[in-house]
């Protein structure tokens, strides 16, 4: 599986960004794995429109586009960075059910009646989520596709 962005191009993105130590010190194998996992996380989302070609490997490009939008490749980088920082989307999601922590006499109670949408969607980066939002299908919409 190929990621939305190659390591060399992701490096160009990170060259202009602060706080990228986890990326900077990772070897190429870890960087590639993180970019692939980020691509999988993006491809699990429900996007507006149709893929440009039914046979393509990923959700993008879409419609009449021939290239992957920069927002998507940048979001892939941001997600990869969070994954390299050991942010586990599954753990983040499971933490949504924890309401109360106590250690000795110190207690922490959190309101879990509202979950951050990016966490529910499996995207560990709020920055990436903001980049992906314009491409997402409205959660309240329904799409019906008829077979032949």
Query: pLDDT tens digits for 7-48?
Result: 999 999 999 999 999 999 999 999 999 999 999 999 999 999
| SS3 assignment, position 102 | strand
Q: Which of 10-14, 112-116, 119-123 has the highest mean pLDDT?
A: 10-14
Q: Please answer whether residues 32 and 3 qualify as being in contact, where contact means their C-beta atoms are separated by less than 8 angstroms.
A: yes
Q: Is 106 helix (H, G, I), strand (E, B) or coil?
A: strand
Residue 89 has, within 13 A of its CA and on its CB side, a CA count of 23
Residue-level pLDDT at 61 = 98
Contacts of 117 (CB under 8 A, 6+ apart): 129
What average pLDDT does the segment 125-132 reach?
Answer: 96
> What span, in angstroms and rounded, lies between the C-alpha atoms of 77 and 82?
9
Helix (H, G, I), strand (E, B) or coil at 29: helix
Q: What's residue 111's pLDDT?
A: 55
Asked if the bond preceding 130 is cis, omega within 30° of 0, the reply is: no
Checking if the pLDDT of 113 tops 70, the result is: no
Residues constituting the chain: 148
Q: Which helix (H) or strand (E) holds 75?
A: helix 70-84
Residues 54-107: pLDDT tens digits? 999 999 999 999 999 999 999 999 999 999 998 776 666 555 555 556 677 776
Instruction: Output the pLDDT for position 145.
Output: 54
Q: Name the residue ranges covered by the structural domains of the chain.
A: 7-88+124-135
Write down the pLDDT at residue 84: 96
């Amino acid at each position: 599986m190929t990621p939305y962005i190659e390591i060399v191009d992701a490096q160009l993105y990170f060259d202009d960004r602060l706080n990228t130590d986890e990326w900077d010190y990772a070897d190429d194998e870890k960087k590639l794995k993180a970019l692939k996992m980020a691509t999988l996380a993006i491809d699990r989302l429900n996007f507006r429109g149709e893929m440009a070609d039914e046979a393509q490997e990923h959700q993008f490009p879409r419609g009449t586009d021939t290239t992957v939008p920069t927002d998507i490749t940048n979001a892939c980088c941001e997600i990869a960075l969070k994954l390299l920082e050991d942010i586990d989307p599954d753990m983040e999601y499971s933490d949504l059910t924890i309401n109360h922590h106590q250690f000795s006499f110190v207690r922490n109670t959190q309101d879990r009646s509202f979950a951050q949408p990016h966490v529910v969607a499996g995207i560990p980066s709020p920055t990436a989520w903001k980049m992906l939002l314009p491409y997402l299908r409205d959660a309240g919409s329904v799409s019906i596709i008829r077979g032949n």
